[in-house]
Amino acid sequence: MQTYFRNFLLFIILISIPFLAKSKDPVRANNGMVVSASDIASLVGVEILEKGGNAIDAAVATGFALAVTYPQAGNIGGGGFMVIHLEDGTNTTIDYREKAPQTAFRDMFLNKNGKFVLAKSTEGWLSSGIPGSVAGMLYALEKYGTMTRDEILQPAIKLASNGFIIDYRFAEALNDYKKEFERYKSTKKIFTKTDEDFTEGELLVQKDLAKTLRSIKLIGNDGFYKGEVANLIAKQSKANGGFISIEDLSNYKPIERAPILGLYRNNKIVSMGPPSSGGIALVEALNSLEMFSFENKAWGSSSYIHTVSEVLKYVFADRAEHLGDMDFYPVPQKWLISKERGKEIAALVGDKAIPSNKISHANPPAKESEETTHFSVVDSYGNAVSVTTTLNSTFGNKIVVSGAGFIMNNEMDDFSAKPGTSNQYGLLGGEANSIEPNKRMLSAMTPTIILNSEDKPFMVIGSPGGSTIITTVLQVILNVIDFNMDIQEAIDAPRFHHQWKPDRIDFEHYGMTEDVKKNLSRKGQFIGKERVLGRAEGIIIDYKNNIIWGASDPRGYGEAAGY
Ligand code: GLY
């Protein structure tokens, strides 16, 4: 009897193994899907789709809702990038990255001795670029959406004015930042409680934010970039040593730009161009990796990680040297995303690691903030939208605009604060991303749409994570295209990260076995830190079975919602 029971248990365990080894199924739907870092914001987007709105309508509604329910990175005081595929085949992007104010200057974050002061570029009003999110989202809505501002903004207004129930993670986030919030009266008022901490189940009401959103709903851009809200921003900026003026705000314009296009194993990549480095770096890496076949290389093997890491070293070195706002600096975009450059890099990849110092003498960028947020949307009409948006640090510079209720970004930190400094080799770096008035700071955000051979959207993907955005998006794509994973598996799978400098491969928990580490070390790779890499939000469309699959990253707390 005992033996029978033991065998029965063993049988149960054995038949369970394939399930244990697999991620849960992605969320499935037939008509539309929204995946974002906030379950409430995803539902706002899906409701818009259900009412007949298109993916652009849903993306804009989700974006405004995130400014209420996910103020860690969702915003109206920051900026972002939107990549759009329209059912008529058009691919386009909207750049609503923040800009340096007119009075910004190259050395504004250096002290009297020419030393970079991190607190200047990350804290206080000087750290804020001119916000672009409102202008960018309204531009998208007016040009490519079908619904009114009223319909699109109303859900966010309701969430702000009636409040929403906070979950334990959001309560935890607010409590974690309590000390920083308390530095600013306006922030303290909304995001802290006097004698106690926030707990899950509480209602968070944001009356001032609701007022600002109403003003945007009523008069559009002028409700933010002119009049009362603009006055509040400019007045508080000036009173606290910041540079953003009324003119800076009224002059802000989003820019519609041609996307970065690439082809990877017959899949068309549509991604974001400068001032983001994301699309160029992604396509440069894919062009090079296309020269390798991973069929015989097991996923996660040392040989796979070595090959991808070697390619990434060249890609990130090129990024440090050549990338910045193309309106100010001649980025050699055509060369960077050419198949020739991909082949050139592939030819340099051997069995032994090339030390990063031998690859380029450019100045590596300083540490980039890893908080940002991504959302992916598809509708039933054949449109797809991929948006990454940010305040830079978690809760930006933590300053709520008093009377307007939203948090300002600290995106000025994404510029090279001290370009042109001779490094130990006497070479200059970071020029492409130096601070100049009205220039947009370099970003790593990589909102991406992948089209199938019939030019239909097959995958929508993106992630937060600073420089790890690029490696996160790249690996999710490789997991799907080269290793046939579904979108949940592709997002769940442990990732690694190499960014040329520091010369090391970072990895995730359980992401690299000791054997693999030993083999990589033998090849000359340096094993870096264990840490969380990215939080992707993705969608895949299966046209054969008419199923839309959505997946939110288990590293975050978002949700895929479809209908
Ligand atoms: N601040 C994050 C990024 O733009 O990449």
What 8-state DSSP symbol labels residue 21? T
What is the whole-number distance in angstroms between the Cα of residue 3 and the centre of ligand 1?
59
Which residues participate in catalysis according to the annotation? 372
User: Half-sphere exposure of residue 523, counting CA atoms within 13 Å on the CB side?
Assistant: 25
**Chain-centre distance of CA 214, in angstroms?**
27
Owner of token pair 């046209």: 543
Nearest Cα residue to atom 1 of ligand 1: 392
Q: Report the SS3 class of residue 391.
A: coil
Owner of token pair 């300002």: 408
What is the whole-number distance in angstroms between the Cα of residue 6 and the centre of ligand 1?
54
Using the Cα atoms of residue 308, residue 414, residue 121 and residue 397 in order, give the sign of their dihedral. negative
Nearest Cα residue to atom 4 of ligand 1: 443
Yes or no: say if 558 and 27 are a contact pair by the CB < 8 Å rule. Answer: no
Q: What angle do CA 550, 554, 542 make, to 5 degrees?
A: 20
Yes or no: say if 275 and 350 are a contact pair by the CB < 8 Å rule. Answer: no
* The pLDDT value given to residue 426: 36
Mean pLDDT (10-residue bins), the chain, 563 residues: 53 43 90 98 98 99 98 98 98 98 95 88 96 99 98 98 97 97 98 94 98 98 98 98 98 98 98 97 98 86 97 95 91 97 98 94 72 96 98 97 98 84 44 92 96 97 96 98 96 96 95 97 98 97 97 97 98
Q: Could you tell me the CA-to-CA distances from 174 to 178, 395, 406 in Å, in that order?
A: 6, 9, 15
Owner of token pair 């899906």: 46
Any idea of the CA torsion for 454, 457, 458, 461, to the nearest 10 degrees?
150
Atom of ligand 1 nearest to the CA of 411: 1
Helices 55-69, 149-162: inter-axial angle, 10-degree rounding: 20
Q: Report the SS3 class of residue 264.
A: strand
* The pLDDT value given to residue 416: 86
* The pLDDT value given to residue 332: 95
Kindly report the backbone phi and psi dihedral angles of residue 360, in degrees, each rounded to the nearest multiple of 5, phi listed first: -160, 150
pLDDT digits (tens, 9 = 90+) for 5-61: 555 555 444 444 434 468 899 999 999 999 999 999 999 999 999 999 999 999 999
What is the whole-number distance in angstroms between the Cα of residue 499 and the centre of ligand 1?
15
* The pLDDT value given to residue 18: 39
Give the pair of three-digit tokens for residue 208.
Answer: 């001032």
- Ligand 1 pocket: which of 411, 415, 440 to mutate (most atoms within 8 A of CB): 411
The H or E element that residue 119 is part of is helix 118-122
Ligand 1 binding residues, C-beta < 6 A: 368-369, 372, 390, 392, 414, 443-445, 466
Using the Cα atoms of residue 38, residue 458, residue 91 and residue 466 in order, give the sign of their dihedral. positive
* The pLDDT value given to residue 423: 40
527-530/505-507 β-pairing: parallel
What is the whole-number distance in angstroms between the Cα of residue 475 and the centre of ligand 1?
19
Yes or no: say if 90 and 259 are a contact pair by the CB < 8 Å rule. Answer: no
What is the whole-number distance in angstroms between the Cα of residue 408 and the centre of ligand 1?
14
* The pLDDT value given to residue 17: 40
Q: Report the SS3 class of residue 513.
A: coil
Using the Cα atoms of residue 481, residue 483, residue 489 and residue 491 in order, give the sign of their dihedral. negative
- Which is nearest to 289 in space by CA: 272, 267, 270? 267
Q: What angle do CA 213, 217, 218 make, to 5 degrees?
A: 120
Mean pLDDT, rounded, of the chain: 93
What is the whole-number distance in angstroms between the Cα of residue 472 and the centre of ligand 1?
14
* The pLDDT value given to residue 305: 97
Nearest Cα residue to atom 3 of ligand 1: 443
This prediction's pTM: 0.94
Q: Report the SS3 class of residue 93.
A: strand
